[in-house]
Amino acid sequence: MIYFLFSALALVVIILVWKRAKKPFIHKNISQQSLTKFFEALLFRGHNTGCLFIGIPNETKFLQFSKYIDAQSSVGLRFDFPLADWSRNYYEPLKKALANGGFEFAIKPTGDDRIPEFIVVDLKQNLESALALTLLALRDIFRLNPNELVEVYFENVSPKDEKIGFG
């Protein structure tokens, strides 16, 4: 009987650890000015289509950056902002702010009625532009106070100190 209880308890612990390990690690309480190291991690350690998400604590709002490695071995970062239910009120103001801020962007249709299009900015390898765009969106569009903290998490980014896609 005791063996059964220990086995059941061990199984529950294994399941809980496994479920927790599947969730991305969220870096909480990040200052907006210190985001450059996260862009560096995405650019250098990200795999093709690796992502960096910057979210507002306790809200559904987020910014999404992804890494690309194209057929010519060109590596860069891209900002993607969806036209979705949660982002509808921010979409047009963001387009205007990007244009006023000198950012070139494109509108990419998806063919999906739930998220019909994305604003896409090719940042190439310009980390300063990635930070400037982030601060513009957080402060001017999401109206976040510069002292408020954000949450950051990655998908498809290596934990190792390596450069991926740079020949």
- Domain segments of the chain as ranges: 26-157
Q: Which two tokens stand for residue 21?
A: 């390990």
Give the sign of the dihedral formed by CA 89, CA 151, CA 79, CA 139. Answer: positive
Q: Could you tell me where the DSSP H helices lie in the chain? A: 2-22, 36-45, 88-100, 127-135
Instruction: Note the pTM of the prediction, 2 decimals.
Output: 0.81
Q: What is the pLDDT of residue 95?
A: 97
Amino acid found at 29 = N
| % of the chain at pLDDT higher than 70 | 82
> Is the pLDDT at 22 greater than 50, yes or no?
no
User: Do 129 and 79 contact (CB within 8 A), yes or no?
Assistant: no
Q: Which two tokens stand for residue 101?
A: 């801020």
The pLDDT tens digits of the residues spanning 49-66 come to 999 999 988 899 999 999
Q: What is the pLDDT of residue 14?
A: 53
